[in-house]
Amino acid sequence: MRWARGVGAALLWLALLPFALYALRFGFDGLRAPLPDHYLFQPETFANAPMSAHMTLGAALTLLAPLQIFTAHRANRLHRRSGPVVVALTAITAVAGLTFIALRGTIGGPNMSAGFTLYGGLMLIAALATARFAARDRARHRRWALRLVVLAVASWIFRVHYGIWYAATAGWGSNEALTGPFDRIQVWAFFLPYLALLEWKFARERRATPAARP
Number of neighbours of residue 197 by Cβ within 10 angstroms: 11
Q: What is the pLDDT of residues 145-180, one digit of tens each?
A: 999 999 999 999 999 999 999 999 999 999 999 999
Cα atoms in the 13 Å half-sphere on the side-chain side of 140 = 16
| Rounded-to-integer distance, Cα 197 and Cα 60, Å | 25
Q: What is the pLDDT of residues 79-90, one digit of tens each?
A: 788 889 999 999
pLDDT surpassing 70 at residue 65:
yes
Q: Give the distance from CA 58 to its chain's centroid.
A: 7
Q: What is the pLDDT of residues 94-132, one digit of tens each?
A: 999 999 999 989 999 999 999 999 999 999 999 999 999
Q: Full-prediction pTM beyond 0.85?
A: yes
| Rounded-to-integer distance, Cα 1 and Cα 151, Å | 26
| Rounded-to-integer distance, Cα 60 and Cα 180, Å | 31
The model's confidence at residue 51, banded by pLDDT at 50, 70 and 90, is: confident
Number of neighbours of residue 92 by Cβ within 10 angstroms: 18
Q: Give the distance from CA 127 to its chain's centroid.
A: 11
